[in-house]
Amino acid sequence: MERKDFVYRTELVKKLREEGVEPYPHSAKITHEIGDIVDRSEEFMGKKVAVAGRIYGLRFHGKLAFATLRSNGRDIQGFFRYDVLGEKKYKFLKKYVQRGDFIWLHGEVIRTKRGELSVLADDVRLISKSLYDLPHEWFGIGDVETRYRQRYLDLLLNREPFELFWKRAKIVEEMRRFLWSRGFLEMETPVLQPVYGGANAKPFKTHVNALDRDYYLRISDELYLKRLIVGGYTKVFEISKDFRNEDIDTTHNPEFTMIEAYWAYADYNDMMDLTEEMIKSIAKALGIEKVNFRGKEIDFTKPFRREKMLDLLAKRGITKETDDEEIKTMLEEYNIKLPRYERGLALGKLFERVCEADLHEPVFVIDHPKETTPLCKLHRNDPDLVERFELYVGGMELANGYTELNDPMLQEKFFKDETERRTLGDEEAHQYDADFVEALRWGMPPTGGVGIGVDRLTMLLTGQESIKEVILFPMLAPKEE
RNA sequence: GGGCCUGUAGCUCAGCUGGAAGAGCACCUGGCUUUUAACCAGGUGGUCCGGGGUUCGAAUCCCCGCAGGCCCGCCA
């Protein structure tokens, strides 16, 4: 059974065509965007304009009618008078034009008796017929599933997400502007990779018919951007969609956006400075100082603290003196399973479990045990650690950076260690990337790198606690009919 | 993977101690020359998520399934 509104409106389209009116014309030339007129209304007063937009409200009042027109999130009122518009067009409006339709109208910018900025129409055209009744904005769309599956309805009827995704676009724009201003070049590296790397994660597998080879969707673009540093660039970045074949929850989506930046001759301290300055400049550009997140305030104007991971663990009673047996007991208590006991890995896992959730105000956690990643340079003062940082905000990991490992022989060894972990059953261990080792053998300068989760940054800057709220089309199970 | 919750008109929701499917808005018809959630009068509209069961009778109770949300587990 077809929807009643669809049947009725489809019939109207048919009638329009019978009368020689095309309900979906090719263009509708406007003189101004609605927002421009609203922003500079006094300048436009008394002038003739042509505007277009979707009808959110249509109020017939005998021989008068008022329409709320919206375009790009901005509203202006269309004012139709029988005597100004003429009988034919007025009747057309009444018979064929409904809420949800797009119209074009021409007329003088005025204010009505109630002071509402309006265009007093002397001409009106239907420029796109909607075949469904637009739900009322007053009630909005509340059903979360509808909001995600039909995001356009969410954007059309709920103000908050419309503005939120505008902000997300601004965040990405500011990110680019910031890095461009620092001399970084925006690069594009492969999404389809024969060997995946740069993170601990399960990949999506695909097949390249032309080569008859299995490929992977990237889990990170790290190893390719570093090849570009080998290639001679000193500052590169990429905003990349990465793919990780893992669970979907409030902070994870299988497809997500990451920005990675690599900077030759710099180290992890420089990258922390860069990260902090970038986030603060984005927040400033958006006029954001403090955000309420998970019930607590985050102040983006204060300096980001830097804490050593081992110091944070020590505050929880896990120190150098804690012996391996005690740590193994703790792993069991927290139900953490490692393919094989390695102290450094265990400490990294315990940190996530014990400390992570409490890191609310921005803090760089630095100097991780060396077993936590194979891509990072050993610490200049302690061979058991690496020069790594993770930025935690709101209890989430927001960024991850290193003084990049550029010693090809050590890189080879670390990849071998990962291969061993893989054979022991660690599905997320890194793959051995011989081509990347080859690149390092040609020489990569000392380099600092960082990756920042764009979705999570958007969550933090907008106070949204679910990643689905900041991804336009979050992954959902396909609906079968 | 485990627990809790949700699914009723186009939208927002009520009905849930079993007994004739409802409201507001939207939509349609009529009225109205300053409305803006317009108003007034009348009207149309339902696979009560799907399947099975209990019962004289199920939107309501039971079982299975689907989809979504939250929490936990797992995981960047």
Share above pLDDT 70 across residues of chain A, in percent, rounded to a whole number: 99
Residue A139 CA, nucleotide B15 C1', distance (Å): 21
- List the structure tokens of A128: 């796109």
Q: What is the per-residue pLDDT across A348-387, written as a single tens digit (0 to 9) for each?
A: 999 998 898 889 999 999 999 999 999 999 999 999 999 9
Whole-number Cα distances in Å, A480 to A152, A415, A477: 20, 43, 9
CA of A72 to C1' of B38 (A): 25
Q: For tokens 């409106």, what's the residue?
A: A9
Nearest nucleotide to A83, CA against C1' atoms: B33
Chain centroid to Cα A221, Å, comes to 17
* φ/ψ of residue A441, rounded to 5: -60, -30
pLDDT bucket at A471, cuts 50 / 70 / 90: very high
- Report residue A470's pLDDT band, with 50, 70 and 90 as the boundaries: very high
Query: Could you tell me which residues come within 8 angstroms of residue A247 by beta carbon, excluding any fewer than 6 positions away?
Result: none
Mean pLDDT of chain A: 94
CB-to-strand B under 7 Å, chain A 73-112: 77, 79, 81-83, 98-99, 112
User: Do the beta carbons of residue A403 and residue A446 sit within 8 Å?
Assistant: yes
CA of A462 to C1' of B59 (A): 40
For strand B, list residues 353-412 of chain A whose Cβ lies within 7 Å of it.
Answer: 390, 397, 400
How many CA atoms lie less than 13 Å away from A235 in the CB half-sphere? Answer: 13
Least confident of A16-25, A157-166, A425-434, A464-473: A425-434
Does residue A14 lie within 7 Å of nucleic acid chain B, judged by its CB?
no
The ipTM (two decimal places) reads 0.90
Answer whether any strand B atom is within 7 A of the Cβ of A174.
no
A118 CB contact with strand B at below 7 Å: yes
Give the rounded distance of the alpha carbon of A344 from its chain centre.
32
CA closest to B39 C1', residue: A61
Are the C-beta atoms of residues A196 and A431 closer than 8 Å to each other?
yes
Question: Strand B closer than 7 Å to the CB of A279?
Answer: no
Nearest nucleotide by C1' from A140 CA? B11
Longest CA span, chain A: 91
Closest nucleotide over all strands to A465 (CA to C1'): B70
Measured distance CA(A152)–CA(A258) in Å, rounded? 24
What tokens were used for A50?
């042509």
Helix (H) or strand (E) holding A282: helix A268-285
Q: Which nucleotides of B are covered by protein (CB under 7 A)?
A: 10-13, 24-28, 31-39, 44-47, 66-76
- H/E run at residue A181: helix A159-181
| Mode of pairing for the β-strands spanning A363-366 and A305-308 | parallel
Radius of gyration for the alpha carbons in chain A, expressed in angstroms and rounded: 29
CA A398 to chain centroid: 13
Q: Please tell me the distance from the alpha carbon of residue A385 to that of residue A370, in angstroms, as a whole number.
A: 5
Identify the CA nearest to A126 among candidates A47, A67, A60, A83: A67
